[in-house]
Structure 1
């Protein structure tokens, strides 16, 4: 039997983990990572992850979202890991408990997390050719991957940076993006 499901191809508009829009190229999903719109109420090391639903127009809209965030990532001083809070469930925990190293002596860029569906998923950095980040489930099935545009490829109105989430895992897309954001923060700060 053929798998006729179509993955979500979310274009990362900026390529920056500190804030970007993630638009599905088929306009089925729209996610956003952004700083709080009111900096006085939050520290500069806070990121919000939003499920905006679907974009209402083809125009890029960089205004802050008026929705409640699905996830709040509060990083510690000097880039340290802080806490992750899931707004819909009032679950909050330290990031290093949410994204745990896969082995005691393993590298920091291979970590696992348990999603709201009760399953465990693992992110690895450059473990698969042409993927910057790869996410697999406990059976080692591909769940998602993040790919940066190769420097030698020209840009034609898009960033070329893509987060691909396979359709069977769309229900945890917010958790996939939140955990990827933490993983990219870990890589950027050499934690």
Structure 2
């Protein structure tokens, strides 16, 4: 049974996210969603909020970005009765892959997808826990497009409004939905 979003709202979800100052480095306020995942009521609320948004849309597959996008994306794919595709860090997938490198605040990273994970014309919902600089999500978008898929929408629990990641995603022609927005600052 789904929680109706009006029963427990997004504000309750925001209050449940733990904030950890100076992690993983000085000056960063880390938003820890494990407190949401540990609670059956809040985890269900999180998945149900996304389910209500997407249940009437044509979505062929959900793609989740490592690692918290796996948790949310897999549960959402189950609710939407569609398949789930992981987009993983380089070297973690066992079959033939496509890779995409992107910039981080302090270096570069690479994500990969199986070459047979998305088919031409698939409408893909791309999921992650948060949008900061947008690099990871944009790398996922590029991989999906290279396989012939269309990113129907990208979604996240949290969007940091003081960074330009959300703007970059939207400028790349990808609709972005986030349940929560804040400036992410300490």
- TM above 0.5: no
Q: Which one has more relative contact order, counting CA pairs under 8 Å at least 6 apart?
A: 1
| Greater per-residue helix proportion | 2
TM-score (norm 1): 0.28
